[in-house]
Amino acid sequence: MYSAIHLVQRGKNRAGLTMLTGFVNSFSSVSRPERLAGKVAVITGGASGIGEATAKEFIRNGAKVIIADVQDDLGHTVAAELGPGSAYTRCDVTDEAQIAATVDLAVARHGHLDILYNNAGITSSSVGHLASLDLADFDRVMAVNARAVLAGIKHAARVMAPRRTGSILCTASVAGMMGGEMPHAYNVSKAAVIGVVRSAAGELARHGVRLNAISPLGIATPLAMRGFGDMLAWADAERVRRLIEEDMNELEGATLEAEDIARAAVYLASDEAKYVTGHNLVVDGGFTVGKRLNVAHA
């Protein structure tokens, strides 16, 4: 190895550079083991946004992934891009039977289920004051963002508990911690996710199953762009994007991206987090301990 480096440094032997580069690349791949090798995951809302980014990160880390969504074209496209370790299935999370069927599909196809990521979510169209709250919209948001999470936990635990192992993740939000800035239905639904995790984690721990939440700050995903766009009807898409990526940002020199949440999910799903359960992992660059966003004057 020394002779290769010596020749490269003197610029006399290109073969030495090739040899050294190959050695370094080989060493790098060995020193970065796949953190989810052999694990099987289901990701709801996996066809776009945080779900898509997480599916890609899970595959990159050695997992097999079933993308569950109602966006059929996007879901099939993402699964095809990710290769043979990924598959798409249609799953309307407001229908418990479809959640159960998706869990059963993972077990039938791969023999077990190690990770369920309850990520599917929607925004609220009722963006006014409490006096004008549309309870039908509230029920719709709660059905997807909260009730479906509980159903996902129920059916993942059904197949994980007998094996005494498994990791269940749920996308919550800083909106569920702070309230105030987002529509009431969305705030309440995300607070419910955090509450469900706290309520069920102890019971599942006694069966070897871990349950955690991830609470991101806003990310300019299609879902967030629609949600903030509804709230800020006066703002064009670029202004909404700047609000999410810049005005809400407390951490100098960094912008929150879907991939950051995906990497947090990899950690919580992996054996590195073997003793972490009942936790709400806040990924917000300090927003919840810094400032509140006054969208009325953004």
pLDDT of residue 257: 93
Reduce the secondary structure of 270-289 to three states and give it as a string. Answer: CHHHCCCCCCEEEECCCHHH
Question: Is 45 a member of any domain?
Answer: yes
Question: Is 204 a member of any domain?
Answer: yes
CA distances from 267 to 61, 243, 280 (A): 11, 29, 13
| CATH value at residue 215 | 3.40.50.720
Where in the sequence is the domain holding 156, given as residue range(s)?
A: 40-219+257-283
Please tell me the distance from the alpha carbon of residue 173 to that of residue 215, in angstroms, as a whole number: 4
User: What percent of the chain has a predicted confidence (pLDDT) above 90?
Assistant: 66
pTM of the model: 0.83
Please tell me the distance from the alpha carbon of residue 141 to that of residue 124, in angstroms, as a whole number: 6
Asked about 186 being catalytic, the answer comes back as yes
Question: Is 196 a member of any domain?
Answer: yes
Question: Is 246 a member of any domain?
Answer: no
Question: Is 30 a member of any domain?
Answer: no
Question: Is 288 a member of any domain?
Answer: no
Among the options 2, 88, 117, 186, which is catalytic? 186
Question: Is 33 a member of any domain?
Answer: no
Please tell me the distance from the alpha carbon of residue 192 to that of residue 106, in angstroms, as a whole number: 27
Question: What is the full per-residue pLDDT of the chain (298 aa) written as tens digits?
Answer: 333 333 334 344 444 434 434 433 433 333 356 999 999 999 999 999 999 999 999 999 999 999 999 999 999 999 999 999 999 999 999 999 999 999 999 999 999 999 999 999 998 887 778 888 899 999 999 999 999 999 999 999 999 999 999 999 999 999 999 977 788 999 999 999 999 999 999 999 999 999 999 999 988 777 766 666 566 666 667 776 777 677 778 888 888 999 999 999 999 999 999 999 999 999 999 988 876 555 554 4
Contacts of 80 (CB under 8 A, 6+ apart): none
Question: Is 238 a member of any domain?
Answer: no
Please tell me the distance from the alpha carbon of residue 210 to that of residue 297, in angstroms, as a whole number: 41
Domain count within the chain: 1
Q: What is the pLDDT of residues 182-202, one digit of tens each?
A: 889 999 999 999 999 999 999
CA distances from 240 to 132, 180, 181, 190 (A): 24, 18, 14, 21
